[in-house]
Amino acid sequence: MNGIAEILRPPGLPVASAVECQVLLDEIEVMADIGAFSAEHGVPQPLRIHVALSIVPPVDDDLSQTFDYSRIHAHALELASQRIALIETFAQRLARMCLACDLVTEAAVRIDKPRAVPGCLAGTRIRIRRE
């Protein structure tokens, strides 16, 4: 065990390993052609996206052993460039894109659609787990 770990660990406590590790990216803001109603077609609307990925905890201090935040952002931008009717569909596609990485065991995606209902914040949330 290295000296720093011995200093930080109180005496008598066992060495712990990570039980759960998450990668989080909140408040991703995109403009998307989204909506089921004909008045929404072709009219970009703001979405606020929140993503929590459960991942296999990294063993080494190496970016290749985690899910890079920029990939979440890139997936969200890719989906925002497409015409999608439902935010539920958008959320599910984003979660599945993240789950395509073997390191990701679960993806939770929440999408807020601020302009959907006047005076309210509408949204959806989905959580998909690898089987």
- Using one digit for the tens of pLDDT, what is the confidence trace for 24-49? 999 999 999 999 999 999 999 999 99
- Cα separation, 130 vs 95, in Å, equals 11
15-38 b/e (C-beta count within 10 Å ≥ 16 → b): eeeeeebebebeebebebbbbeee
pTM confidence score: 0.85
Mean pLDDT, the chain, whole residue set:
90
- Cα separation, 111 vs 125, in Å, equals 6
Cα 32 to the chain's mean position, in Å?
A: 17
- Cα separation, 46 vs 37, in Å, equals 16
**β-bridge partners, 45:** 32
